[in-house]
Amino acid sequence: MPSVRLVDVVKRFGTITAINRLSMEIPDGEYVCILGPTGSGKTSLLKIVAGLTVPDEGEVYINDRLVVSMPPEERGAVYVPQQYALFPHMTVLENVAFGPLSRGTSEDEALRTAREMLEMMRLGHRADSKPDELSGGMQQRVALARGLATKAKLLLLDEPLGALDARLRVELRHKLRELAKESGITAIHVTHDQAEATAIGDQIVVLRDGRIRQYATPFHVYMRPQSLFVAHFVGGANFFQAMVAERHSDGSILELNQGLLVKVQDNTYLPGEEVVLVIREDRVNVAEPGEQIPSELYNVVQGEVLSSRFLGEFISCQIRLANGDLLTSRTPTSKTDRLLPAGQKVIAHFEPSDTTVYSYPPIGLTRELRVL
Amino acid sequence: MFGILLKLGEMGEIFRDPALLARSQSAILWSMILAFSVASLDLLIGLPLAWLIVRSNPTLGSVVDTLADIPFMIPTVALGFSTMIFWGPQGPLAPVFGGAFLTPGLVLVVLLHFAFSLPVVVRVMVGELSGYRETFEIAAKTLGAEPLTAVRTVTLPILRPALVASFLLSFARSLSETGATIIVAGTFENGPVFIKNVKDAGLEGALSFASFVLIVGSIAAFVLIRYLGLRLRLPVSKVWPETERKLSGQRAVLARDFTVFAVFVFIAIAPSLFIALPSGQAVFDGTLSEALSGRGVWETYWQSLILSYVIGIIATVVNMLVGMPMAVLIARKRLGRQRTSLIDALVDIPIVVPSVALGASLAFFWRTVGALPELLILTISHLTITYTYFVRTMSASIESVPVSLEETARTLGARPLTVFRRIVLPLTKYSVLSGAILTFTRSVDETGATAAVTTKLKTAPVLLVDWIKGTVRVSSSTQSLGVAMLVMVSFVALLVLRLALRKKR
Amino acid sequence: MPQVQITGLAKRYGSITALENINLTIREKEYVSIIGPSGCGKSTLIKCIAGIVKPDEGEILVNGKSMGDVPIQHRRIGYVFQELTLFPHMRIIENVSYGPRVQGQSLQSSRALVSELLDLIRLSDRASSFPSELSGGAQQRVAVSRALASGSTLLLFDEPFGALDAKVRMELRYEIKRMTTDLGLTVLHVTHDQEEAMSISDRIIVMKAGRIVEDGSPLELYLRPKNIFTANFLGEANFLEGKVVEQTPAGSVVQVGDTCLQTVDQTRRVGEEVIVAVRPEFLQVTQDLKGQNCLRGKISGIRFMGHMTRFEVEVSEGRTLSVEHPICFGELDIEPQDEITIAASPPHIRVYPVPEDGLDRELQLE
């Protein structure tokens, strides 16, 4: 039975609608990441589930019980804000024991549970420290221990790794997921970092302007983004303005700038329609002249390298195609660690199955994709 | 919140006496001019002083910080008396000038008001400067601005709300203060002095008229100054690189610090502490034993002192109980943003309105509504006047506790009352102490409203004013000792507070 | 002449050493990133260069001139903070023209430069807005232009994008890099984000606990890190303990568990205990069971992420290796508990001496 269910939830702050008729189900035991830019309503969503914010409309169910009027302390859902909110005047041990104590457990019992939790987090030796004496990563573990000590089954994490250095984030995110799985709890993890969401979520909920744009596994969000926004927000992609030239049962032919023809797998749009063609950066193959390439008629384009960048795991290449469009490719360093020089002639090619097509946005492509 | 909007009873008789009318108008006008000038001077000296405390070497800074509080720790009646004798025939300047350097009058009032409002400005500005993000100033310097230019064009505009707030606090204090002003006023009359004089003369009509005008005038002045202060366009676009570079230099800064410090010590500190001399004498010349025996005038003295402390304690306890929920309401904006601002403004009224006018209006109200005993009216007026102190202190403190702490605690299973008890209160306990002590000392200090309300009962400050002005004849050493003993308790209480807060900081 | 030259720089705060024996040279028009964990001293370093912090020892030369006691306002070095420091009471145009104005220029003469800079960051239409009306990303772009307008050719960035969303950060870094390259500026960019540093720098300086650990191009530091901390900090790595059993002309052979790995290392001696590091993406699935550098193991955890598949392999004696398999190498048909063989080519296996304080402490990130 689902652990959390929202039905047509609406939340307004003055004239701004933070959550716009949102419905969502999160099954028991899942680690779900809510991904979206700042202002997309992610924190409001979490606070509504926690009971810290009351929605203007809609219903919230936790374990199939309607909880809209239930105060936070009775919901069994622990909220961990970005800065962890450790109580500065209490020791680490007192912090972790706070939950059980507040719920009526005896002091002995509460302290025992607290010590157990701290041992599990390998922080037993810091039980008597004050929160500000601990590093960022340790504070995070204390915050988690404090939440788990209440035996709550629902963990609500608001940008739990946001306060940490980039490298530390990568190291600790897997531990977060491990912890949730080992404790058998349902976790809702809010973040603006798509690499993070992709790395640890069972499911990703992509949020924009208070509405769900896609709810799927990381694989599906990446391979089959449902909208331009999702395609742009999750992982790097190339966007081309195009028009449908032909439509067949197994795909379509699109016409790009200067008449360049591309074959795609999608066939939902009619000839003459304005569309946007999306190809993921790492689905573009770059071959130097003389290299072997598939003998497909379509999707092989001449181009010239504008610049190459070394990104560590990948090499990113900006290519000016023969038809004037700009293409960015991403090649794993394990395949080649050669940086192609500017001016190098190359051949870019890609499979029709690696493309997705969307209708052309009314406000124009540049504005739709604007992030800055 | 109660009692503030109490309407006045009858008035109007005043219009029948033109001379009296003119005198009252002049008194109120002088109140405004005086308050405005004093507030300006306080800001002029107080800001560099606060700068010295926060930005220069820490030891010097904390010494000046402690000293800066002294005029605040002494009841204003004592301050007035001490100032009067400092500049008078017994003071250090007398031998130089062959007699009193300054006699009671306008100049002495200005010096007095300057002294007792300075700590207010310094306190507010030190708090603001300590919390101010220096990165703005540093950013300005990386762009090529000399230190003085950076402060003038970036820091001060950003701190403008604090500057306006401290100006207004100083303004309000000057408008309101009664006890000390009466002592040093001589023939000069500002609003509170006038009101006390007409009350003693039994002119009820004039009393009510002056109170009314003073209340309306002060609220109007407040609103006007706040509006203009926050919106006035400052000359931030003009720059004088060469001049400002020289003025930022070490020598200029040293000269500035020295001047400010000298003014501070000589005009604010020394006069405040001067009372120690004659009261020291009084200990040895037998007055002390007389006082302790409770004979003669001393009998009424002890009664007054006890009355002061009893009212003080009641006012404190009641305000803590009533003020705490209000503080939470304001800090957490429980009723919504707009309603909270309104309540916020209303809570400020007891500070804005001169206490003497407040006392008079309260007295009129309760006498017409029902015959309440004088003691009760007195207590209620003290409650009203000190209410703001506790609420303000607590709400600022609660606001600084991040809401996320309370939210997380709720989701961990704690009910709202538990959250308050185990999270908010421990984190604000110093402010509870601070607010309580401020409330108590303000009540003990309170002269204006008491003077306006009482006919029979006299609290200690009011009694002392009578002693000093000569309404009741006592020897000068009796005066000194009486004042000194009043100072003792307040001084000790505030010193304890300072030490407790210092430990926290 | 080098634009910045630092020798023997040191700074202490009581018993804490913020900087120790820092020596570095920055050439004109270089874009150099300084990376390291929190508390490594990178911010302190650029604050010393800007004059915000006074060092205890050492010398800083900018354009050949000693910075000694030169106050901040006379150094003509642009600085962008992590916090948003646009002056809140001034409009955007007043903010950007602040530098020229306080240096004595009239509004008239600086107008051309200011509007050119606003055009460059595409915010000309927001010239009359106040900072609070702009997004975080927009404010930082203005902050950079403001620093440029004051006439500096040397810019110091102190984690300028730290407060922004991941996506905004990515786009902003390229825009700022383009701008500074086009204008021929020298940049020292402090960040804790190694991906950011690698994507835009000519050179990266790695710091730890107040010292410079290593210095080189992004490619060099990523593929051939000389220091084990650098290896772990710039990207993920699997670490294995081993012993050098042979030295061949191609490089040392290290025995790890039951397997012998051929490396390209020339520095370790036979018999020495070493640590071997391999990045997850360089461990490749192979069908050739007799090939070089093969490790056999069992799959224990798979994540299909679209652009790659990441899985854990338990090799002999409880050691687990992380492997990343990019999708362009073909789709993987694997399930947990499957037996699998992975291999890495010699240049991708890096060899390091065992750290004195132990591996965990050496790699510690906070």
- What average pLDDT values come out for chain C (366 residues) when binned by 10 residues? 90 93 95 93 95 94 91 92 92 92 83 90 92 92 92 92 86 91 94 92 96 95 95 94 92 90 92 94 86 89 86 85 87 87 93 91 85
Residue B13 resides in a domain: no
B1 — pLDDT class (breaks 50, 70, 90): very low
Q: Which chains touch A (3 or more CB pairs under 8 A)?
A: B, C
Note the pLDDT tens digit of each residue in C81-109: 988 899 999 999 999 999 998 888 877 88
With an 8 Å Cβ cutoff, the interface of chain C facing chain B consists of 50, 52, 71-79, 81, 83, 85, 87-90, 94, 98-99, 101-104, 107, 146-147, 150-151
CA distance B470 to B479: 10
Residue of B nearest to A150 (CA): B412
In this structure, the number of other CB atoms found within 10 A of the CB of residue C195 comes to: 22
Residue B14 resides in a domain: no
Looking at residue B97, what is its pLDDT? Answer: 67
Contacts of C198 in chain A (CB under 8 A): 310-312
Asked if the C-beta of C326 comes within 8 angstroms of chain A's C-beta atoms, the answer is yes
Residue B131 resides in a domain: yes
Distance between C322 CA and the closest CA of chain A, angstroms: 12
Residue B17 resides in a domain: no
- Do residue B136 and residue B201 come from a single domain? yes
- Do residue B142 and residue B280 come from a single domain? no
| Three-class secondary structure of residue A125 per DSSP | helix
Note the pLDDT tens digit of each residue in A273-297: 999 999 999 899 998 888 777 676 6
Residue of A nearest to C330 (CA): A283
Residue B12 resides in a domain: no
List strands edge to edge, sheet with C154-158: C78-80, C154-158, C186-191, C31-35, C203-208, C211-216
A331 — pLDDT class (breaks 50, 70, 90): very high
Asked whether the beta carbons of residue B427 and residue A146 sit closer than 8 angstroms, the reply is no
Q: Which domain holds residue B292?
A: 276-505
Looking at residue B75, what is its pLDDT? Answer: 85
Residue B10 resides in a domain: no
B400 — pLDDT class (breaks 50, 70, 90): confident
- Do residue B303 and residue B188 come from a single domain? no
Residue B318 resides in a domain: yes
Domain residue limits, chain A: 2-229, 236-368
Asked whether the beta carbons of residue A79 and residue B418 sit closer than 8 angstroms, the reply is no
Asked whether the beta carbons of residue C89 and residue B158 sit closer than 8 angstroms, the reply is yes
Is-contact A45 A59, C-beta < 8 A? no
Contacts of B410 in chain A (CB under 8 A): 51-52, 71-73
- Do residue B257 and residue B298 come from a single domain? no
Partner residue opposite A85 with nearest CB, options B408, B426, B427 = B408
* DSSP 8-state code for residue C317: G
- Do residue B284 and residue B263 come from a single domain? no
Percent of chain B with pLDDT over 90: 14
Does residue B14 have a pLDDT over 80? no
From the list A357, A350, A352, the residue with the least C-alpha distance to A284 is A350
Looking at residue A296, what is its pLDDT? Answer: 67
- Do residue B228 and residue B289 come from a single domain? no
- Domain's final residue, options B274, B309, B344: B274
CATH, domain range A2-229: 3.40.50.300
Note the pLDDT tens digit of each residue in A77-88: 999 998 899 999
- Do residue B141 and residue B287 come from a single domain? no
Q: Which chains touch B (3 or more CB pairs under 8 A)?
A: A, C
- Domain's final residue, options B254, B274, B294: B274
Distance of CA C77 to the CA centre of its chain: 22
CA distance C163 to B475: 70
Contacts of C102 in chain B (CB under 8 A): 140, 143-146, 149-150, 153, 239, 241
Looking at residue C262, what is its pLDDT? Answer: 93
Residue of C nearest to B134 (CA): C85
Looking at residue B201, what is its pLDDT? Answer: 79
The residue assigned the tokens 């204003």 is B76
Which CATH number does the domain housing residue B201 bear? 1.10.3720.10
- Do residue B192 and residue B292 come from a single domain? no
DSSP per-residue codes, A65-123:
EE-TTS-GGGS-EEEE-TTTT--TTS-HHHHHHHHHHHTT--HHHHHHHHHHHHHHTT-
- Do residue B214 and residue B157 come from a single domain? yes
Q: Based on the structure, what is the number of domains in chain B?
A: 2
Note the pLDDT tens digit of each residue in C304-335: 887 889 999 998 767 899 999 988 777 788 88
Class level of CATH domain A236-368: mainly beta
Chain A window 115-134: which residues touch B at a Cβ cutoff of 8 Å? none
| Three-class secondary structure of residue B265 per DSSP | helix
Distance between A5 CA and the closest CA of chain C, angstroms: 26
Residue B67 resides in a domain: yes
Note the pLDDT tens digit of each residue in B154-187: 999 898 888 888 898 899 888 888 888 888 887 7
Distance between C42 CA and the closest CA of chain B, angstroms: 17
Asked if the C-beta of B410 comes within 8 angstroms of chain A's C-beta atoms, the answer is yes
Percent of chain B with pLDDT over 70: 92
Looking at residue B500, what is its pLDDT? Answer: 73
| Three-class secondary structure of residue C140 per DSSP | helix
Kindly tell me the number of DSSP H helices and DSSP E strands found in chain B.
Answer: 28, 0
CB–CB contacts below 8 A, A to B:
64
Note the pLDDT tens digit of each residue in B404-441: 999 999 999 999 999 999 999 999 888 888 788 888 88
Does residue B505 have a pLDDT over 70? no
- Do residue B231 and residue B280 come from a single domain? no
Distance between A101 CA and the closest CA of chain C, angstroms: 32
Domains of chain C, earliest start first: 4-230 (3.40.50.300), 237-363 (2.40.50.100)
B225 — pLDDT class (breaks 50, 70, 90): confident
- E strands, chain A, are 2-13, 16-27, 31-35, 57-62, 65-66, 77-80, 154-158, 186-191, 203-208, 211-216, 237-248, 251-255, 261-264, 274-280, 285-287, 300-310, 314-321, 326-332, 345-349, 355-359
- Do residue B350 and residue B238 come from a single domain? no
CA distance B383 to B368: 20
Report the residue of B133, B138, B143, B243 to disrupt the C interface, i.e. the one with the largest count of C CBs within 10 Å. Answer: B143
Query: Residue C176 to residues C134, C182, C201: CA-CA distances in angstroms?
Result: 18, 10, 12
- Domain's final residue, options B274, B300, B316: B274
Report the residue of A167, A174, A239, A315 to disrupt the C interface, i.e. the one with the largest count of C CBs within 10 Å. Answer: A167
- Do residue B321 and residue B336 come from a single domain? yes
DSSP per-residue codes, A298-334:
SSEEEEEEEEEEE-SSEEEEEEEETTS-EEEEEEETT
Asked whether the beta carbons of residue B402 and residue A85 sit closer than 8 angstroms, the reply is yes
What average pLDDT score do residues A49-56 get?
Answer: 93
Asked whether the beta carbons of residue C102 and residue B154 sit closer than 8 angstroms, the reply is no
What average pLDDT score do residues A21-33 get?
Answer: 95
